[in-house]
Amino acid sequence: MTLPHEHVFMDLYEITMNSHLILCDPEVARYELGFFKECGGSTIVDQTVHGLGSDPEALREVARDVGINIIAGTGFYWEKFHPPWLRDMTGRDIAAMLVKDLAEGFYGTDVRAGILGEIGTHHRRISAAEERVIRACAVAQRETGVPISTHALFTRIGMEQVRLFEEAGANLDKLVIGHVDTTPDVDYHLELLRRGVWIAYDAIGQLDKQTDERRADAIVRLIGAGYRDRILLSTDVGKRGAMRSYGGTGYDHVITRFLPLLWERGISKDDTTALTVDNPRRLFSGS
Ligand SMILES: [Zn+2]
């Protein structure tokens, strides 16, 4: 069972001045991921990109200690979180750096990334700097074949992301539009799916964005429309409050709380295995 969009180590304090966004303690990470493993979880995709305080070596250690797989992401989040050095890089420089992260290892380490994501844009528009990153990701994807995953919060900005990625030559069959469940308009989700991309219900458990019951109703509708094999489920844990250590429901929320909502609605175990096991596997293997 894979969670395709999470964060294990992240530190956004300097940009947000919010101490809930400091996740840097390996002991907490081991404790939290231990619950995930106990509930049957096997793989976490950590989409903490440059500028968000990622820690590839700590990820490798924690994965080894807990006995799960962690796939690390590379790329850039939305412009507010771009590291200052990104400004001086050309699109070609950015693409070369991303390919290096994917093929050889993050700077100074031999830990390789396995996905381009989460690639961010503003929620109402895509800035020039964000567009440059999108184009560089398309180039890096063509060279390496990895999936791309985006941050598309609250609006229909995912449609614009698809348009730009397509124009830049990205493989839409390996493009995931993220956070679509923060925009509860199922017609928008269907519109994305008809463009040939994947969609991620990856804010499950974040009740300030939508209730899990409404998410479950929407997934029933999407499966009914024939899109079971294009949907991913995750929780985007990224705040202390989402973790069990601080009163949250942790990385096992999808398994322990959300899948039962789907079963209650008549979704079969085969279907939920497709959503949580087969779909992520297919996205990463390309078959
Ligand atoms: Zn995220």
Q: What is the pTM of this model?
A: 0.97
- Could you tell me the CATH superfamily of domain 2-285? Metal-dependent hydrolases (3.20.20.140)
CA of 91 to the centre of ligand 1 (A): 23
Report, as an integer, the average pLDDT of 165-191.
98
Return the domain boundaries, the chain.
2-285
State how far the Cα of 63 lies from the Cα of 49, in Å rounded to an integer. Answer: 18
Q: Quick one: pLDDT at residue 143?
A: 97
CA of 261 to the centre of ligand 1 (A): 23
CA 140 to chain centre: 18
The contacts of residue 239 (CB under 8 Å, 6+ apart) are 20, 21, 248
Q: Quick one: pLDDT at residue 207?
A: 96
CA of 279 to the centre of ligand 1 (A): 19
- Copy the structure tokens of residue 99: 């390919």
Q: Quick one: pLDDT at residue 69?
A: 98
CA of 273 to the centre of ligand 1 (A): 23
The contacts of residue 207 (CB under 8 Å, 6+ apart) are none
CA of 280 to the centre of ligand 1 (A): 16
Question: Is residue 287 predicted with pLDDT exceeding 60?
Answer: no
- As a whole number, the mean pLDDT across the chain is 97
Query: pLDDT tens digits for 38-69?
Result: 999 999 999 999 999 999 999 999 999 999 99
CA of 200 to the centre of ligand 1 (A): 11
Query: pLDDT tens digits for 205-221?
Result: 999 999 999 999 999 99
CA of 96 to the centre of ligand 1 (A): 24
CA of 238 to the centre of ligand 1 (A): 7
* Percentage of the chain modeled with pLDDT above 70: 99
Question: Is residue 286 predicted with pLDDT exceeding 80?
Answer: no
- Copy the structure tokens of residue 101: 């992260």
Q: Quick one: pLDDT at residue 107?
A: 87
CA of 148 to the centre of ligand 1 (A): 13
State how far the Cα of 244 lies from the Cα of 113, in Å rounded to an integer. Answer: 27
